[in-house]
Structure 1
Amino acid sequence: MTTPDVGFLLLAVVAAFFANELWRVLGAVLSARLNEDGAVFAWVRMVATALVAGLVAKLVLSPSGGFALAPLWLRLGSAAAGIAAYAVGRRSLALGVATAEIALIAGMVALGA
């Protein structure tokens, strides 16, 4: 690398750092005044939940790549198992995701795929 290349890369790294750090600092300053039980946070939680539900529905009903090899009944069953584990496991997201993955992998192995 030549000296101008190193200077440009250093400038790019510093600029990227400050561009990201600015938003982190603003978020920390502004979040101190927000009420976690207020209407804004409730709305954000609802929107985030709806986005995740939409993505899961898209993955289950209209998959792409290797996930499309799994039959619909197996994808639906795995999702149902994950939701049940989430509900039974005191709303543990890790337990729900792990259960759905294990059910899907076990089903694919049983089908020989």
Structure 2
Amino acid sequence: MSGLEAIVGAGLAPYLALILVGFLPSEVWRVLGVVLSRGLDEDSEVLVFVRAVATTLLAAVVAKLVVFPSGALALVPIWARLGAIFFGLGAFFLSRRSLIAGVVAGEVFLVAAATLALG
């Protein structure tokens, strides 16, 4: 039995496909980005623009999830979703711009509000 047959026989084929199709193609671009950005100045206009575009895209995804939720999030009232954002932002700024504090605080608020609203 070859190595590939053993993987398929053990039920690991979906994980292998995930690694080959999901992880490796994006990892190549990440490594290439690190290699090519080695000599760039962090405050250069190009990187400021890239950072602004990335932040804008992230904000758009969050706004889409809040305004037009799908799945289980659609059951959570809009006040709870918006409250989680503002609560997370407040925790972010009160904790001296700690990203983990903002994310955890927003998630705790969302879960608590959803439990109260749906519970």
TM-score (norm 2): 0.73
Matched residues in 1 for 2:43 and 2:3: separation? 53
Cα pair distance change 1:65/1:45, threshold 3 Å: same
Q: State the alpha-carbon separation in 2 of the partners of residues 51 and 22 from structure 1.
A: 19
Give the equivalent residue in structure 1 for 2:50.
Answer: 44
| Count of matched residue pairs | 104
Cα shift readout 1:3-53 (whole Å, capped 9, x = no counterpart): 9979xxxxxx7xx97x955862x4343222211110011001100110111
Q: 2:116 and 2:3 mapped to 1: Cα distance?
A: 59
Q: Map 1:78-89 onto structure 2 (within 5 A).
A: 78-89=84-95
Runs of 4+ in structure 1 deviating by more than 4 angstroms, as ranges, are 1-6, 19-23
Cα distance change of structure 1 residues 35 and 64 upon mapping to structure 2, 3 Å threshold:
same
SS at 2:97 equivalent: coil
Which amino acid in 1 is paired with 2:70? S
Contact 2:76 2:118 in 1 (8 A): no
Residue deviations 1:63-97, cap 9 Å, x none?
Answer: 00000000111111111101111111111111111
Q: CA RMSD in A?
A: 2.9
Q: Give the match's secondary structure for 2:47.
A: helix
- 1:30-109 correspondence runs (5 A): 30-109=36-115
- Which of 1 and 2 has greater Rg? 1
